[in-house]
Amino acid sequence: MKIMVAIKRVVDYAVKIRVKPDKSGVETQNVKMSMNPFCEIALEEALRIKESGMASEVVAVSMGPAQCVDTLRTGLAMGADRGIHVEATGALFPLSVAKLLRALVEVEKPGLLILGKQAIDDDCNQTGQMIAGLLNWPQGTFASKVVLDKEKHEVMVDREIDGGLETLCLDLPAVITTDLRLNQPRYATLPNIMKAKSKVIKKFTPQDLNVEIKSDMEVVQVTEPPKRKAGVIVSSVDELVDKLKNEAHVI
Amino acid sequence: VSTLILAEHEGGAVKAQSISAVEAAKSLGDDNSISLLLAGSGPSLSKAAAHAAACHPSVSQVLVADSDKFAYPLAESWAKLVHLVQQKATYSHVIATSSSFGKNILPRAAALLDVSPITDVIEISNSHLFVRPIYAGNALCTVKYTGAGPCMLTIRSTSFPVSPLLSDSKFDEAPVSQVDISTFGEDSVGKSRFIKVTSQDTERPDLANARVVVTGGRGLKNAENFKMIEKLAEKLSAAVGATRAAVDAGFVPNDLQVGQTGKIVAPELYIAFGVSGAIQHLAGMKDSKVIVAVNKDADAPIFQVADYGLVGDLFEVIPELLDKLPEKK
């Protein structure tokens, strides 16, 4: 069985983002970019499944500008067997990504598709659910535990839901989206980074995949959220308790 | 304007969050006809339907899909149901809350309808213009829906509060009707099966919904010391949070992580001990109403967002707080 993992290149989670003065978006020039943390978890899970002998190959897929290849190289250095880059300029909304993924699934025929539950840039939390819908595959979103049963051709998924955990059993092929608790992603080692340089990254364009990138949504503006006003420094625990009780009325 | 709301129910009642969705729908337009869609099976569904009919004066009708297929809120059957209902009635808007229920189902339903959904709406400017947070709330994005299909949203229920006066007011109940599911396709149903649900131990409030959150950072130094945070949380009936640094150092499991990649919280009171205030942590808590920071480093960035800062050694401050905080009611 083959596992396909979608990975996204985003502004690094530790970077303080800046809204562009013309309100057209967030500054991404000269900013450190990394693999979306939830995608790292997705890739890690795929690698662990492969290492346990239940999958034969892990294919990493990324979509967007040319620099996505760097993110794919990181994925290959972590252990993915090969990469696919769908080169697309301009805004790609989740619906377009899901359609491109569907086209790639038809080419690659994976038994499992794993994605991060959301990207930390647009915070959409949509692509996994949408590709599952388009393929008519079952979905296990926000996964914190994944147990594959190759014999029965199914997968058990623990899902993080509001106030608890839900366990679902999905027939394969299926879509899984990962939550934070699923695993701790590995770091790429130097020898693996070297090895990754010779791994294959295949390029497609949306035209190659017969997907028309159109959008029914438009970003009007991106602005700074209202700032918190500066607070006060208190000098003692007594003063703090007093302020919380009599000024803020929160205790 | 006409709106379909995917309503969540539990124990024979519509969840409060879903009633917030009605509040959100009201701001789409004055002449909005609002329908609540409930799915499930058996007596608890009928009870929830009766509650839905009387939960808000703006509800025009309640639609009920009663079948074993909906015994559990699975995305596969729910998305199909939304598709079916939408094909029949062509609503201009479809809304769910940004709960794990809404986020699981709505994008799947949107894909079936070939629509780009809009997640986490916090403000409705007009029927097609919405504001939503991006980069974990570090920027706000205004988006316009330009498509022909229904405009599909998940809304943050905390941004659309329901008037507390509502429960006292008298109004006519909305009619309840059954959805005809005889044409309901079988193809994706059955590919996913509900096994069980495990609730968190309920002694402490859930991190994402707690009124008070007490968080520890790297300054706690080890897992043993972190128990002080738990003790204080107990005293305040608060949830316990942690920074990524504390999680990475192994003090606590990572489901306690507050931050851009962890939980996003906005409690009434947030108290941070030994937290420096990394960007990705601030992203997860800066919408809290009152922020308190205790740190021995007076230059820690956390003080720039704190309403009350105390420069001091947390190992002295926590015991003193335990002593001086009023007993919980």
pLDDT (tens digit, 9 = 90+) per residue, B217-229? Answer: 999 999 999 999 9
Give pLDDT, residue B201. 65
Q: What is the pLDDT along chain A (251 residues), one digit of tens a residue?
A: 999 999 999 999 999 999 999 999 999 999 999 999 999 999 999 999 999 999 999 999 999 999 999 999 999 999 999 999 999 988 899 999 999 999 999 999 999 999 999 999 999 999 999 999 999 999 999 999 999 998 999 999 999 988 789 999 999 999 999 999 899 999 999 999 999 999 999 999 999 999 999 889 999 999 999 888 779 999 999 999 999 999 999 98
**A210 in B contact zone (CB under 8 Å):** no
Domain boundaries defined on chain B? 2-178, 207-324
Cβ neighbours of A119 in B, within 8 Å: none
What's residue A50's pLDDT?
A: 98
Same fold yes or no, B2-178 and B207-324? yes
CATH topology of domain B207-324: Rossmann fold (3.40.50)
Whole-number percent of chain B with pLDDT over 70: 97
User: Chain B neighbours among A 92-151 (CB < 8 Å)?
Assistant: 93-95, 98, 120-127, 129-134, 136-142, 144
Distances (CA, A) of B220 to B167, B228, B286, B299: 45, 9, 21, 18
Q: Which residue has the tokens 């330009």?
A: B146
> B96-149, pLDDT tens digit by residue?
999 999 999 999 999 999 999 999 999 999 999 999 999 998 999 999 999 998
In this structure, how many other beta carbons lie within 10 angstroms of the beta carbon of residue A166?
A: 22
Domain boundaries defined on chain A:
2-225
pLDDT, residue B202, reads: 62
- Cβ separation A216–B119 shorter than 8 A: no
**Quick check: pTM over 0.90?**
yes
To which residue do tokens 């959150």 refer? B213
Pick from A31, A57, A35: which is nearest to A46 by CA? A57
- The yes/no answer to whether this complex scores an ipTM above 0.90 is yes
DSSP state of B157: G
Residues 6+ apart with CB under 8 A from B165: none
User: Which residues, listed in sequence order, are joined to residue A115 by a DSSP beta bridge?
Assistant: A177
Contact B149/A181, CB-based, under 8 Å?
no
Selection from A93, A176, A175 nearest residue A134 by Cα: A175
**Dist. CA B181–CA B85, nearest whole Å:** 9
Question: Could you say which architecture CATH assigns to the domain A2-225?
Answer: 3-Layer(aba) Sandwich (3.40)
Type of residue numbered B271: I
CA distance A72 to chain B (A): 21
DSSP E strand stretches across B24-150 = 33-40, 59-66, 93-97, 118-121, 123-126, 129-134, 139-145
**What is the helix (H) or strand (E) element at residue B248, kind and residue range?**
helix B244-248
Q: Which of residues 172-231 of B touch A (CB under 8 A)?
A: 187-188, 191-200, 206, 208-209, 212
User: Which residues on B lie below 8 Å from A228 (Cβ)?
Assistant: 286, 291, 305, 307
Q: Which residues of chain A lie closer than 8 angstroms to B325, CB-CB?
A: 241, 251
B284-303 residues touching A, CB cutoff 8 A? 286, 289-292, 298, 303
Burial state string for B303-316 with b = 16 or more CB within 10 A and e = fewer than 16: bebbbbbbbbebee
| Inter-chain CB proximity B191 and A243 less than 8 Å | no
Instruction: Please tell me the CATH code under which domain B2-178 is placed.
Output: 3.40.50.620
Contact between A95 and B115 using a beta-carbon 8 Å cutoff: yes
The alpha-carbon gap from A167 to the nearest alpha carbon of chain B, in Å, equals: 5
